[in-house]
Structure 1
Amino acid sequence: MTSVSVAEPVSVSVLVGQIKATVEPAFRTVWVQGELTGVKHHPSGHWYFALKDETAQLRGVLFKGSAVRLAFPLKDGMTVAMRGRLGVYERDGQTQLYAETVEALGAGAQRLALEALYRQLKAEGVFDHPKRSWPRIPHGVAVITAESGAARRDIEAVAGRRCPGIRLDLIPAVVQGTQAVDALVQALAHVDPARHAVVIIGRGGGATEDLQAFNAEAVVRAVAASPVPVISAVGHEIDTTLTDLAADRRAPTPSAAAELAIPDLAALQQEFTQAHARFQTAWHAYRTRLQDRWQRVAQHPLITNPALLAEGYRLRWERGVERWDRAWMTWVERRRQAVALMAVRVQALDPTAILGRGYAYVTNAAGQVVTAATAADTVQVHWHDGTVPYHR
């Protein structure tokens, strides 16, 4: 580092250069935590911000090359820990942090991890599988909750009030603490489709930290993969966990979940009574319509007077016979006229018919007609009333 005599004034750039040469080698690696403020995301991909605590503030930058490793976007008010180095920006003479990695701290870190898990499961379609339904009267209901918890008592109370005959199988599980995740996953593995038509999984209300087992990835995946429909009833109505999103139905409380899974026997009996009454009314109306229809059929003229049916056929037969007779007589008359005409034509062609008017014809001994005077010496002259031989 170049020293400058205090007796001689130095330029700003020289002084800033001395500061830079002093600070940067001494703070090549720093690890600092604080609250983000003034966060700006530049279109180039760089992040600019300030890191502060109760009494101090430090400007900083996260360049694009390091920002690609961020698991979450930076936001004002977020508490983070950053690794990087200190540098002096000569143009402004500002000391600033050049961050390389960023980690969220406290509740913010938990929230960010939950958001990241939600995005991952959402992208995989865990929350978007077709929601299943269960029978109106299930043959059995599995209840996964703490054995001595209020949720169990609430569910059993609702089941006893609504329909005591439906079997409830308690599959006890720890619902908070370090063992809760494994316990819930194992409990879901004991669900048997042959015995259970639907599953209620949940617990009573509690602090947000007490519900974290129901945000665990293993539990969420086990709920989504359950062989029977799942009703999630975690915490109070205002609480929402990832298990609620993966389940086939979400209930605001364990009691509400029991009301969804178990039918109300009194309501079923009332529905049966109403359905029976509707059936009786419909059956009576159907019988009445059927009787009316048969009465109309029985009163039909063709039933009361069957001769009407034959009358129609008789009239059609008589008209047919009449048409046949007329056609036959017409045909016979036409044939008679044709024969008479033919007889007239034949008679006109008879050579002997002209002899009656004074004509005669001559034939030789062979009976051939003679047409010349020199044809033969002996001929026969034929008149209308006889034949006379002639010798020349």
Structure 2
Amino acid sequence: MADYLTVTALTKYLKRKFTADPYLQQVYLTGEVSNFRRRPRHQYFSLKDDNAVINVTLFQGVFNQLPFELTDGMQVNIIGHLDLYAPSGNYSILVDKIMPDGVGALALQFEQLKNKLQTEGVFNQLQRPIPKFPQKIAVVTSPSGAVIRDIMTTVQRRYPIAQIFLYPAVVQGKGAVPSIIKQLQKVAIQDYDVLIIGRGGGSIEDLWAFNDEQLARELIKMPMPIISSVGHETDTTITDFVADQRAATPTAAAELATPMQLIDVWQTNVDLQGRLTTLMAHRLQQMDERLKRVQSSVVLTSPARLYEGVSQRLDIAKHQLEQNFQQILSLKQHQLALTNQRLIPSATQKLVQNRQKFGQLVNALNLVSPLAVLARGYSVVTQDEQVVRTVDALEIDTQIKIRVADGDVSAVVTEKRKNNEQ
């Protein structure tokens, strides 16, 4: 009877074969990255060619050290070892090192960073002009290289009155980027007219510090214009794209930072002075001629003639105003006469009507007048200025006053009697 293996036993056997086989401890593979999708930690994708596919595991520590951005479809070379994952039964290559195939990793990283910054518009942010007559020039470079010597020699020859301030930095190797950034931060707080940053020629590895993204973003923050002089004329770095001006050599950088030679500056100033003197003399001559024309003008020689035309126009305007006033006055008088002709008959008729109405009202008032009643033989009895209306209002021996039509009579009550009493 045959002995059957468990799946676990077979898988353990195969895993041991993978891990023990010396030919599988370091495998060199080349192929195309497939099904790559970035994950938070470890990366899992496939490596394929025309006829086969193998799983790839890229742990976080190796992935974080990649000097380029891994993308789907990229052709890469991988160094790693094979292993079998027991729970799924799948085998894969665990990456120890990965690099682009056909192009150097640094060159690829350079292109990727360049495209990134260009898309952000970083290369268009610094477009500042270089001052024509700088007083203070800051230089960030190695203190022992030929760069600073070439810059100092050129400035001394062309424009010796400019001051050069060296900020020594490591320009190659692992500590170059922190060193350069530290010196840039010192320069930024000073009042410099222009900054030169650079180093001599070398390989792409030697110049790699000047392709750093952090350094590029630090340069963007610098308050003064920047001249980049990194490597030879054929070398190009990210710093060159970020700077306001790029110089092929340190000498060219110093020439960009300074005007023409001092003797030429002096001659230019002499020429400008001569042109200014000629211009001022011509201007003074023009002003003198203008002054003479003004002095000989009618305004100053015969000022009274200025008022002749004005006086005539004033007389004409006054005469016209008087005529207009007379016309308006005549028109208003005529309108008043027409109004009076219509108003007097109407007012007279209205007066007659009012007099008739007044007479009617007087007659009606006389009919109810107390005086008219008295005139017909009636009288009014009052006591203490109050009209006596009833017998009960009076007492015997009370003093009363009787008013008749033509006067008053004083009397004393001696007897009183109501109408219904006998």
TM-score calculated relative to the size of structure 1: 0.59
- The residue number in structure 2 matching 1:312 is 309
1:294-333 correspondence to structure 2 within 5 Å: 294-313=291-310, 315-316=312-313
Contact 2:35–2:72 (Cα < 8 Å) also in 1: no
User: 1:104 aligned to 2:98?
Assistant: yes
DSSP 3-state at the match of 1:309: helix
Name the CA shift for 1:27/1:60 in 2 (closer, same or farther; >3 Å). Answer: farther
User: 1:50 aligned to 2:68?
Assistant: no
Report the residue type matching 2:205 in the other structure. E
CA distance in 1, matches of 2:247, 2:257: 10
Q: Structure 1 vs Structure 2: percent identity of aligned residues?
A: 33
User: 1:196 aligned to 2:195?
Assistant: no
Report the residue type matching 2:244 in the other structure. D
Name the CA shift for 1:26/1:111 in 2 (closer, same or farther; >3 Å). Answer: farther
Q: Match for 1:211 among 200, 203, 207?
A: 207
DSSP 3-state at the match of 2:227: strand
Gapped runs of 5+ residues in structure 1?
Answer: 3-21, 52-57, 87-96, 339-392
- The residue number in structure 1 matching 2:143 is 147
Name the CA shift for 1:219/1:43 in 2 (closer, same or farther; >3 Å). Answer: closer
User: 1:60 aligned to 2:57?
Assistant: no
DSSP 3-state at the match of 1:293: helix
CA distance in 2, matches of 1:129, 1:311: 69
- The residue number in structure 1 matching 2:337 is none
1:20-169 correspondence to structure 2 within 5 Å: 26-27=17-18, 34=28, 36=30, 39=32, 49-50=48-49, 59-60=52-53, 71-73=69-71, 78-81=76-79, 103-105=97-99, 108-118=104-114, 126-169=122-165
Cα deviation for residue 133 of structure 1 reads 3.9
Contact 1:174–1:180 (Cα < 8 Å) also in 2: yes
Gapped runs of 5+ residues in structure 2?
Answer: 3-12, 39-44, 85-90, 335-422
CA distance in 1, matches of 2:327, 2:106: 114
- The residue number in structure 1 matching 2:416 is none
- The residue number in structure 1 matching 2:182 is 186
DSSP 3-state at the match of 2:71: coil
User: 1:238 aligned to 2:234?
Assistant: yes
CA distance in 1, matches of 2:269, 2:303: 49
User: 1:291 aligned to 2:288?
Assistant: yes
Name the CA shift for 1:80/1:121 in 2 (closer, same or farther; >3 Å). Answer: farther
Q: CA RMSD in A?
A: 4.9
CA distance in 2, matches of 1:329, 1:176: 106
Report the residue type matching 1:157 in the other structure. T
- The residue number in structure 1 matching 2:41 is none
Cα deviation for residue 204 of structure 1 reads 1.2
- The residue number in structure 2 matching 1:279 is 276
Contact 2:36–2:72 (Cα < 8 Å) also in 1: no
For this pair of structures, how many residues does the alignment match? 304
Report the residue type matching 1:308 in the other structure. R
Contact 1:31–1:82 (Cα < 8 Å) also in 2: yes
Name the CA shift for 1:207/1:295 in 2 (closer, same or farther; >3 Å). Answer: same
